[in-house]
Amino acid sequence: MPVQITADSNPLRHESDRRLNRIAGPSGLVIFGVTGDLSRKKLMPAVYDLANRGLLPPGFALVGFARRDWEDQDFMEVVHESVRKYARTEFREEVWEQLAQGIRFVPGEFGDDAAFQQLKETIEELDADRGTMGNHAFYLSIPPKAFPEVTEQLRRSGLAEQKEGQWRRVVIEKPFGSNLRTARELNAVVESVFPADSVFRIDHYLGKETVQNILALRFANQLYEPLWNANYVDHVQITMAEDIGVGGRAGYYDGIGAARDVIQNHILQLLALTAMEEPIAFDAAALRAEKEKVLGAVSLPEDLGSATARGQYAGGWQGGERVPGFLDEEGMDPQSTTETFAAMRLDINTRRWSGVPFYLRTGKRLGRRVTEIAVVFKRAPQHLFADSQTSELGQNALVIRVQPDEGVTIRFGSKVPGAGMQVRDVTMDFGYGHAFTEASPEAYERLILDVLLGDPPLFPRHEEVELSWKILDPIEEFWAAQDGPLEQYAPGSWGPSSADALIERDGRSWRRP
């Protein structure tokens, strides 16, 4: 059994070094669906990066389960290739050799009882040989329709059973259902096998450094929180834009669309973090309670036709190349009414946000890849300055950039140098890459480590998932009842004209990030 290094045995330990509290204890990770893109490009490299940062125990185990006729050595080569190609930290042979000793592979189908028995025996061998002590997380990197079968196999084989002093956890990726009914069915299946606090629903956006910085920005500073309400905020815009099309995901994407794919999970989580009240503690229960209050207070406008917009990207030129339209993508139904762009206005019926609209939008083949939260403030009374002196002055805004250039921008008015008095917009910018020497961990690094630690603040519980579907379901039902083809928008633009009309009806306009 490998030697277990603890904080107490580490000669470099210092009482004030809080990083030591984040090292995972004896444990292993089982990945179902290891042949998929997510596993190859994100999960396996993240495991290596955690090991390289010294955040995994020396005896950590990684088990792959898939429908391949592989031996342990074959899987090890796949992991090695993924790590060398996609890991964010430098490759170190000694780290790889330590990690490779705990790599195993189990071939089989999801319905194969014998394969799950072999998986159980493999885990028991790792407990004995690697000192994983019965602590294992099962990562379901598989289509949602396979969740019930795999969780039932984990129950039947005894793999989900948590003995005294051990833990078993399950990790599931979005989408968490396709509407409220299917989400409830999925939750019932998974939580009939695993306790609620052992179910980790991965939303990789919640692992991004800047998303967590929303909480620090708001609640660790006196500067912003007094203004973070309807007295000073005019509106909030949350944008998640991609500059690529669906590509090879046409078969998956058709029938799901932008709203189900992004708004139900990523964007509504960003909304909840932006609008929530200060939690009583930075722990899972307190954070979830405040997010659930926000999502439960969201209301839809009565006229969904004017308060929502959707469209499909057309073919054309983008970035110097000719790109196909959504309906022309390989494998796409040419009669599809699935949207690649969605926008909507939501209101939050709380004292803090009464009367402040939240505008949400997401789409593919837009002007650039960007995710941001823009808190736009009301205009200051202009008693002192003439209209001609402030003609170039817009509204103050605080913009939280989630990706790709993580940071915060503040837009405010300043005098233009010169003899006269002219005021126009200027910006102050904070970028993570400039302010800190430490590199931000990749989202999946943080989330996998949190799973191994049993630290769930960043993972939505089933109540949040169901509240999100309650918001989106009426909009999806309204859209489904509409006839005719969807509005087309040019690639590289910022969406269909109906999205501009949605916000312009309120006398506002979308930001151009």
Domain 208-442+459-504 in CATH 3.30.360.10? The answer is yes
Whether residue 420 is predicted with pLDDT greater than 80 in this model: the reply is no
Whether residue 9 is predicted with pLDDT greater than 60 in this model: the reply is no
pLDDT attached to residue 157: 95
Separation between Cα atoms, residue 419 and residue 325, nearest integer Å: 53
- Band of the pLDDT at 1, cuts 50, 70, 90? very low
- Band of the pLDDT at 357, cuts 50, 70, 90? very high
pLDDT attached to residue 347: 98
Q: Is 149 annotated as a binding residue?
A: no
Find the length of the chain: 513
- Band of the pLDDT at 64, cuts 50, 70, 90? very high
- Averaged pLDDT for residues 301-307: 96
Whether residue 17 is predicted with pLDDT greater than 50 in this model: the reply is no
**Percent of the chain's residues with pLDDT above 70:** 91
Tell me the torsion sign for CA atoms 104, 252, 403, 466.
Answer: negative
- Band of the pLDDT at 56, cuts 50, 70, 90? very high
**Percent of the chain's residues with pLDDT above 90:** 65
Whether residue 404 is predicted with pLDDT greater than 70 in this model: the reply is yes
Q: Is 235 annotated as a binding residue?
A: no
pLDDT attached to residue 389: 61
Q: Burial code of 241-278, b = ≥16 C-beta within 10 A, e = fewer? A: bbbebbeeebeebbeebbbbbbbbbbbbbbbbbbbbee
- Band of the pLDDT at 11, cuts 50, 70, 90? very low
pLDDT attached to residue 391: 62
Strands (E), 108-153: 136-140
Q: Is 364 annotated as a binding residue?
A: yes
Q: Which of 136, 235, 266, 462 is catalytic?
A: 266
- Averaged pLDDT for residues 30-58: 93
**pTM for the whole thing?**
0.87
Mind listing the pLDDT tens digit for each residue in 448-480? 998 999 877 667 888 999 999 999 999 999 999
- Band of the pLDDT at 207, cuts 50, 70, 90? low
How far apart, in Å, are the Cα atoms of 238 and each of 124, 294, 425, 513? 47, 16, 21, 11
- Averaged pLDDT for residues 182-187: 90
Which structure tokens are listed for 409? 């921008």
Which structure tokens are listed for 331? 């494998």
Strands 28-32 and 136-140 come out as parallel
Separation between Cα atoms, residue 95 and residue 120, nearest integer Å: 27
Whether residue 69 is predicted with pLDDT greater than 50 in this model: the reply is yes
Q: Which fold has domain 18-202?
A: Rossmann fold (3.40.50)
Q: Which of the pair, 324 or 432, is modelled with greater confidence?
A: 324
Mind listing the pLDDT tens digit for each residue in 224-260? 999 999 999 999 999 999 999 998 777 778 889 999 9
Q: Is 242 annotated as a binding residue?
A: yes
Chain-wide mean pLDDT for the chain? 88
- Averaged pLDDT for residues 71-91: 93
Any idea which of 143-147, 189-193, 288-292, 464-468 has the lowest mean pLDDT? 143-147
pLDDT attached to residue 21: 52
pLDDT attached to residue 16: 40
Which structure tokens are listed for 201? 């629903």
Q: Please report, for the chain, the start and end positions of each structural domain, with discontinuous segments joined by +.
A: 18-202, 208-442+459-504
Report whether 309 contacts 501 (CB < 8 A).
yes
Q: Per the omega criterion (within 30 degrees of 0), is the bond before 456 cis?
A: no
164: amino acid identity, one letter: E
Q: Is 204 annotated as a binding residue?
A: yes
Whether residue 276 is predicted with pLDDT greater than 90 in this model: the reply is yes
- Averaged pLDDT for residues 161-171: 92
Task: Look up 80 and say whether it is catalytic.
Answer: no
Separation between Cα atoms, residue 9 and residue 459, nearest integer Å: 32
